[in-house]
Structure 1
């Protein structure tokens, strides 16, 4: 088992793999690097036994993103392999990630837990679509319509507010500033959901 050591290399001393089949989203990776820096090293082939030296076998697009951001150095681990082994590493690194998948429930929970989606490659629309896909389908065929008599007593009064954890629910009119002030308690909110009056 090789003893992998992380080293700092000048960006100008390295080159991308000459036959890299992968096409990555350099802009998205650059956003990630801006948001949280480099959190794993790229892999560089020293190339003593290969036709190209100091060539990147894993992390080509991270390197390109760092270069685009104007970085002068990058962290890397090294191998010293021949051309055939270098090609095998490139192919394995690109393909093995493709073979995996996601546990959608765990992914949805994790995306909901993080404080920011900046630089993650996920948009709020992605998060919303995933959450919607996980919602169980309702079978309305077994739901009976209930007729409410016109003279039924109202249990909710206009202006009432319920505090549900960090959320607030009000029977009011979102088009009326006084109702919104009352609901928000003089503060602000991250989002407001309203529905049509019944």
Structure 2
């Protein structure tokens, strides 16, 4: 049954810790020191409680000491010498067996303004993009307000259609004498009717 290893978490003097004599792993101290300077020390060191030997995080301990820090956070594990060696080997090996999703990594690196403190360089990013086929990931950019808008496509000229079943009538012509218009829809002037004579008044 899986169990939680007994531990104590506390700040420990850098001088109280010492590297494990059997640790075969060699890390890149320059990369770790750059990360500590850029990001601060954010990790912990695992150590065997009864011997104060570092099980995991030895290179972080070296970097902290070179940067002049006097204390660091540590997790002191209550384990035997054999357990300490197994944990140390498993920690180093699991990190080596891990891999990357290159596409996700390229997107992540390109999304940063610079690569300082990441352990990656511009040359690393260039090689990574070459391995991906030389395709550069381009993010969406807002439209430039100074760029003129594309010309609109002109609409075709359409004449309004007459309603079905209705005949078109010519416009009514107005007279110049100021009288009301007496033209018919066909454009012809109708014949005038004779005026009625009024009967003389009765006496």
Question: TM-score by structure 1 length?
Answer: 0.64
Equivalent residue number for residue 75 of structure 1: 73
1:32 is aligned to 35
Q: Closer, same or farther in 2 for the Cα pair 1:31/1:136, shift >3 Å?
A: closer
CA distance in 2, matches of 1:34, 1:166: 35
- Which of these residues, 84, 89, 93, is aligned with residue 95 of structure 1? 93
Structure 1 residue 167, shift from structure 2 partner: 9.8
Find the counterpart in structure 2 of residue 56 from structure 1: 54
Aligned to 2:156: none
- Aligned with residue 125 of structure 1, among 123, 126, 129: 123
Q: Tell me the TM-score normalized by structure 2.
A: 0.62
Moved more, 113-122 or 64-73: 113-122
Instruction: Work out whether residues 6 and 41 of structure 1, in 8 Å CA contact, stay in contact via their aligned partners in 2.
Output: no
Query: 2:6, 2:78 within 8 Å by CA — same for their partners in 1?
Result: no
Report the Cα distance in structure 2 between the residues aligned to 1:58 and 1:40, rounded to whole angstroms.
11
**Partner residue in 2 for 1:172:** none
1:10 equivalent among 13, 16, 21: 13
CA RMSD in angstroms, aligned pairs only:
2.1
What is the DSSP-based 3-state SS (H/G/I as helix, E as strand, rest coil) of the residue aligned with 1:6? strand
Give 1 or 2: higher helix fraction. 1
Instruction: State how many pairs are aligned.
Output: 137
